[in-house]
Amino acid sequence: MSLDDRFAVPLAGVDIDEQTRCAHYSTDRDVIAIRFPCCDTYYPCYQCHEAIAEHPTEQWPRDRFDEPAVLCGRCRSTLSVTAYLDCEHECPNCGAAFNPGCLTHSARYFDG
């Protein structure tokens, strides 16, 4: 697995662009990457993790929701799980619009 050196955090994925869009999610608003607790690496989506990581995907346990877990691909700041779930689809730092659809499958990432 090779990490993408354009970002300040460990990030991997399939066809990542400058703002963390990937081969699976590439609309204007798909500008976040999520850190996976199983490997402490950010991926644009779970499908990237499945394609690249050679282990099962783990979800964030509820008692770790205050740790940095979401990267904004536009300003490259990180949000905790709680901050992301509360941000109303907008980066609290730069105002980038996040895809509200991501939240509909957030149970894949976060133990809700």
Query: Residues interacting with Zn ion, by CB under 5 A?
Result: 22, 24, 36, 38-39, 44-45, 47-48, 53, 72, 74-75, 91, 93-94, 96
Choose between 11 and 22: whose C-beta lies nearer to Zn ion: 22
CA distances, 52 to each of 36, 57, 100 (Å): 12, 11, 25
Choose between 22 and 34: whose C-beta lies nearer to Zn ion: 22
Strands 78-80 and 41-43: unpaired
Least CB distance to Zn ion at residue 24 (A):
4
Say if residues 100 and 88 touch (Cβ distance below 8 Å).
Answer: no
Say if residues 33 and 70 touch (Cβ distance below 8 Å).
Answer: yes
C-alpha–C-alpha distance, residues 50 and 66, integer Å: 25
Least CB distance to Zn ion at residue 78 (A):
10
Choose between 65 and 75: whose C-beta lies nearer to Zn ion: 75
Least CB distance to Zn ion at residue 13 (A):
5
